[in-house]
Structure 1
Amino acid sequence: MKLLGLVGTNANFSYNRKLLWFMKDLFPFVEIEILEIAGLPLFSEDEPELPAGISAMTEQLMGADGLIIATPEYDHAVPAALKSVLEWLSWESSHPLKELPIMIVGASLGKLGTVYAQENLRTILQSPGLEAMVMPGHQFMLSEAKTAFDANGNLVDAKTIKFLESSFGAFVDFVSVMGPVRQELLSLDALAGASEE
């Protein structure tokens, strides 16, 4: 199983990046490749073509079985940099997130974790042009992230790790079940598109 982990911020330091790298180490039985959004330009419909970084990300997404998005919470929503990337991907003609199984995780400094950002992200991912298959439930929200990791980038609380393992196990099952469904839906879309030509 090939999964991608998207760091949902362009900040140089991020607890969400730490979380994804911890997940990569914690779950070696699947392949998790970490993607960064730093350096990608702000979305604009005036651009004559897709930025090279978005095209490269699209190729990676098209070859993945699932996607994990780790989002911070800025003002009760996802960061502008992440929203911009999703706008590029919805504008992209191949719509690489369409029917792709997605798990949302998040880390923040506050006590509520990323509850508002995760709900905001779910709404965005279900919009026309994206139409992703977001895993229901199993929302992993890491609160008080500043004290959640040790010096080596590992989560320190056993209950937190156990819940992450449970949530990720549910995502692996979700990808396994929905993967064939996704292929069937994409095939039907392709046939419908061909018949309209």
Structure 2
Amino acid sequence: MKKYIAIVGSNSKLSTNRRLLEYMKKRYKDDVEIELVEVAGLPIFKKTVEMTVPQQAKDMAEKITAADGVIIATPEYDHAIPAILSSALAWLSYGIQPLLDKPVLITGASFGNLGASRAQAQLRQILDSPEIKARVMPSSEFLLSNSLKAFNNDGFLIDETQAKWLDSLFVDFDEFIDISAQLNHTHDDDAAKMSSFSWDEGSNSGEVK
């Protein structure tokens, strides 16, 4: 059985993105093991001379490395991902590379009608950056709009059309992981380049900016 790490991209205790991931954990429990991981509690990203990474981020990195795939659920604030999620991804690329070539499925829930579509587009760009280089499943975003009304009292999606859509994406993600396992010929070279990457390259002062 595959194991996925599901990152809750919000620090809200009432996050509907967390509810979405909890729904997925219950719905697919017979097919895959899903562990939810919180970004809440992480400090805002800041470079240091020692390149110190918080223990919470290190623990997240270990779980991501050991997982077959990653699911990220993001809300949308002002057409962007939350600062806490951006900060978490920065920590996860600061001298460590747990997301390198890791298959990722992007999901998102929002209170409005757009279903976090613009935040998901931004998240895709960040995950594709040279410092992260995750392998995001193409054309696969799950956009859950009007999320406050999307779940019943048992935590299941009310709209059966949305549930079937997510089911199909989930099957595709399983196959995407299998295909991705065959596309890692440059993994070692990429890892070597990333391990020697300097965030302050070109600076002669040695000052941490």
Query: Which residue identity lines up with residue 95 of structure 1 in the other structure?
Result: Q
Task: Give, in whole Å, the separation in 2 of the partners of 1:65 and 1:180.
Answer: 13
- The secondary structure found in structure 1 opposite 2:108 is strand
Task: Give, in whole Å, the separation in 1 of the partners of 2:73 and 2:28.
Answer: 16
- The secondary structure found in structure 1 opposite 2:181 is helix
What is the CA distance between 1:185 and its match in structure 2? 3.2
Runs of 4+ in 1 over 6 A off after TM superposition: none
**In the alignment, what sits opposite 1:70?**
73
Residue in structure 1 matching 2:33, options 15, 31, 34: 31
Query: Which residue identity lines up with residue 82 of structure 2 in the other structure?
Result: P
* CA deviation vs aligned residue, 1:100-144 (integer Å, no higher than 9, x gap): 100000000111111100000001111111011000012110000
- The secondary structure found in structure 2 opposite 1:99 is coil
Task: Give, in whole Å, the separation in 2 of the partners of 1:46 and 1:4.
Answer: 28
**In the alignment, what sits opposite 1:157?**
159
Task: Give, in whole Å, the separation in 2 of the partners of 1:187 and 1:139.
Answer: 29
Residue in structure 1 matching 2:60, options 57, 60, 74: 57
Relative to structure 1, the CA distance from residue 192 to residue 107 in structure 2 (aligned partners, 3 Å threshold; closer, same or farther) is closer
Q: TM-score, structure 1 length as denominator?
A: 0.92
Aligned pair count reads 192
Task: Give, in whole Å, the separation in 2 of the partners of 1:67 and 1:117.
Answer: 17
- The secondary structure found in structure 1 opposite 2:105 is strand
Relative to structure 1, the CA distance from residue 136 to residue 9 in structure 2 (aligned partners, 3 Å threshold; closer, same or farther) is same
Query: Which residue identity lines up with residue 112 of structure 1 in the other structure?
Result: L
Q: How does 1:1-197 map to 2 (within 5 A)?
A: 1-28=2-29, 29-46=31-48, 48=50, 49-91=52-94, 93-182=95-184, 184-189=185-190
* CA deviation vs aligned residue, 1:127-171 (integer Å, no higher than 9, x gap): 111011000012110000111101121101110100000111111
* CA deviation vs aligned residue, 1:65-88 (integer Å, no higher than 9, x gap): 110000000000000000000111
Query: Which residue identity lines up with residue 74 of structure 2 in the other structure?
Result: T
Q: Report if the CA contact (8 A) 1:140-1:164 is conserved.
A: yes
What is the CA distance between 1:180 and its match in structure 2? 3.6
Q: What is the identity percentage for the equivalent residue pairs of Structure 1 and Structure 2? A: 43
Q: Report if the CA contact (8 A) 1:65-1:179 is conserved.
A: no
Q: TM-score, structure 2 length as denominator?
A: 0.87
Relative to structure 1, the CA distance from residue 95 to residue 153 in structure 2 (aligned partners, 3 Å threshold; closer, same or farther) is same
